[in-house]
Structures are given as structure tokens and as C-alpha cells.
Structure 1
């Protein structure tokens, strides 16, 4: 990486640090407000629900419509290729964090996946490695912090980024700057790739909206924490809680007009 690249990386880390510090400060202030029947993992629920309402409004106004349009226009093979491309770039993050967690085996598998998919798989558009049964556990810096003994901390809803915990929030800056698209010198190309990744990811969640039932905020919080703990423990907590789709719901669960903040 050249000098300009390192300066840009340092600037991003500084910006992320300010965002994290400001968010945690606001959360700390909200946490001092008395809230009856607080969830043990969510002592800042008042603050978090406010951020959730902001994110939800932004999603309905901008992100979801873009995702719906993308889902309608882009053929399924194109969407699959785009998702594979960005997932393949994420293998580099898995390699780094696997090494930091002293998991050389997983690092080797992720490296093999990246090389195979980037070559035979045409720059990652085709997930050849998975078709061959070569699968690695995805790792990020939040998981690395957990391996290093850092506690999970309270649940935290981040503006724009959504569900998190204090520990995962602390890991976000490293995850951000180590993802390849953020090292592109061309800012327009970086913005395009970031936007495409975001819209493609949101489009992939459209079908899963049908799984949400009851209070959307609580459902998303509990689902995130359960899935995140499964990932941090490398599956030692049991089967993946989201491997199946046996959820009960009805039309009332999606009556957005009557949803309370």
C-alpha cells in the first residue's frame, strides 16, 4: 500500500473511532434513563429503539426500494454472481482474523477458497470452492476480540449499520479498513462497489422479512444475539438457529402502519 493509501486508512480509522466514541457516549447517557423490565442484554433499550426507528425509516425510504428494484431487474444468476464476488473478498478478512485467533487450519482453508474462486471461479463470481466442499468458518475482528477475552458488552443498535454489541462495534473499524473495496484508490469505484454490496445484501434479506414476527425490534435483537453467539462459539452452542425456516407469523406481524417506535 502506498503512502496515500496508508493516510486514507488512518483517516478512516480516525473517523470510525469518532463514530464509535460518540455512539457509545450517547448509549451511556441513554442507559442512565430508568426503563422498566429491561432485557438483560439490552440495558440501553430506549436509545436503541430510537436508533432502530431512524434506521427503519431510512431503510423504507431508500435502501429497501433500491433493493426491490435491484431484485426485479437483476436476473438471479447475476445476483448470485455479485454475492459470490463480495463473499470471496471477505475471505481475506477471514484469513487475517483466523491467524489472529491462532486458527491456521481455517486460515489455510479460507486462503484456498480465495485462490480457487478468484481464478477458476472467475474473480469470485462462481463459488467453485463450496461446490467442491471446501468451506471455512467466517471470522471477523469482533470474533477475534472475543477469542482474546473481550466481553460481549451490551446490545447496541448503530445508526446506519444496525444490530451490534459493544465488542462488535469496537471491531468494526478494523473490519472496514481490511475489506478490499475500501483500499481502492478510485473513490467513485469504491463508492460504487460499496453501494452495490449494500444493495445486494439488502436484496438478499427481502425474503427473510417474512420470518419476522411480533415486535420487530425485539425479534431483530434476539435473532442477532443468538446468531452472533453461534458464530463466536464456532457452533459449540448447537445447531445454527437460522438454518431452518419453521417460523409462525401472520399478516398482523407486517402491519407497519401500526408499528410503535
Structure 2
């Protein structure tokens, strides 16, 4: 039964990705066939960040007490645990699903809706799972690297994963029961909170990167590969991952890349 389930998940994932993954692939393990377009979108995102996101995040940090900022980050992290649990189950990681469910219940019930992280003190640590990782877990290739407007670094596989994760997020379903302005406000608050957590990374990123685009791309691909393999990526690279072999030695400083909609603790 498990073998049949695994085959169905893998097959359906490949069908959903369709020709996009293979169509964007090039010879020689090249994973950035859309580099010219990606760089243009990257420049747009940089200007948007400089003129909008960063000033808003800076103002948020300046006027928000640390305890409130931490509570907001915990709240969004707790909502994200629902997505983590769903993908635990899809990957048949039932022990982890139980632990993450306990974490969610403890923080939701005892932590005032997740604003206080009691679960970590009880040994239920924050974990990171998403549908992009689930697809990778079953062998679906990451496909072409891409930069999305506002969202930033991504891949064909992770873009699909992000859509599925959004559909399993409590914010999505909460929109059916909340006043019309609340769900978008939560989404915007999540972006501002995530950007505020990256303020300390800016200087390091600027100093470390001769080519900021390449640095972000390499960091993103390395991090995603590590997450798919639960922090233990295989030493021997497949053809699909060969691109990373050339990127790893380029930078001596490694900054964990977090996309603009990541939540605290991921």
C-alpha cells in the first residue's frame, strides 16, 4: 500500500509540474536558464525593497517593543506549523507529525494563540517542512531557478509548492470567516514581520557578495537542497543537482536565505 501511495504522489507531482520542469532544463546541469529575466526581476525587487519594504520594516522595528515583535513572529510561526504538519504526513514522517502537532497545540492553547512559544521549552522544537520539500522528498527535480516579483528566489518546484502551502495555511481558510480586510492585513503583516527579521542580514549580504544576485541564488539553492534532505544532503550529486557543485566554493561566507514570506523560526 505504501509503495502504491509513494508512486501516486510522485507521479501526480510530475504531472502537475508538467513540461515546465523539463522544458526549462538545459544541458550540463545548468539550473538558471532564465538568468537574464531573473536578474531584471531581481533588480525590481531590490528597488521595491529599498523604497517600500525596508523602510516599512525599519519603522515597524523602531516603534514596536521587542516583546510585541517577538509575539507577532511567534504568531505567524505557529500558523506555519499547520503547513509543516500537513507535509510531515505527506512525507510519511508520522513521528515528526506528532511532535509538530503537539507543538502547535501547546502554543495555541497555552501560548495565547501562538504568541508565546512554550513548546520549545518543553522540547518541541520548530521544524521546517513545505510542499516543495515534499516534492523533493519523492524525487521531483527542482527545475529552473527563478526570481518571482516581490517573492524573490524560487524554483519551478518550490513555486508549485508555495501555491499548495498557501491553500493549507490557516490564513487562507480564515479568510472565509473573517471580515474582508483581515486576511490581507495578516498577509501584509507577515511580510513586514519577515522583512524586519532580515534587517541584520543586510550588511553582511552587501559585504559578502561581489555579485548579490549570484550570492542569493547560491544560498537559496544550497538551503533548499539541505532542507529537502533534512540537513543531510548526499555527497554524490545527481545530474539535477550538479549546478550546486559549482556554486558552493564561490563564497566563504554563508548567509541562510529566507524568502520574503518566511515566518520566524523557519
Q: CA RMSD in A?
A: 2.5
Provide structure 1 residue ranges, at least 5 long, that are not aligned to the other structure: 1-16, 33-37, 239-245, 249-261
1:109 alignment counterpart: 99
For the 8 Å contact 1:137–1:234, the answer to whether it is kept is no
- What is the rounded CA distance, in whole Å, between the counterparts of 1:95 and 1:179 in structure 2? 11
| Partner SS for 2:120 | helix
State the 1:139 CA deviation: 0.8
- What is the rounded CA distance, in whole Å, between the counterparts of 1:220 and 1:39 in structure 2? 19
State the 1:190 CA deviation: 0.3
> Which of 66, 89, 108 is the matching residue for 1:76?
66
1:8 alignment counterpart: none
Q: Structure 1 pair 223/58, CA: closer, same or farther in 2 (3 Å)?
A: same
State the 1:247 CA deviation: 4.0
1:255 alignment counterpart: none
> Which of 129, 153, 162 is the matching residue for 1:139?
129
1:47 aligns to 2:27 (yes or no): no
State the 1:194 CA deviation: 0.7
1:218 alignment counterpart: 214
- What is the rounded CA distance, in whole Å, between the counterparts of 2:227 and 2:204 in structure 1? 20
| Partner SS for 1:129 | coil
Provide structure 2 residue ranges, at least 5 long, that are not aligned to the other structure: 1-15, 235-251, 255-266
> Which of 173, 176, 193 is the matching residue for 2:186?
193
1:259 alignment counterpart: none
1:168 alignment counterpart: 158
Q: Which moved more, 1:134-143 or 1:214-223?
A: 134-143
Q: Can you list the C-alpha shifts for 1:10-50, whole angstroms capped at 9, x where unaligned? A: xxxxxxx9xx99xx79x96xx99xxxxx9933222111101
> Which of 56, 61, 73 is the matching residue for 2:51?
61
For the 8 Å contact 2:137–2:229, the answer to whether it is kept is no
Higher relative contact order (CA 8 A, sep 6+): 2
- Report how many residues are paired: 213
State the 1:209 CA deviation: 1.1
What is the TM-score with the length of structure 1 in the denominator?
Answer: 0.75
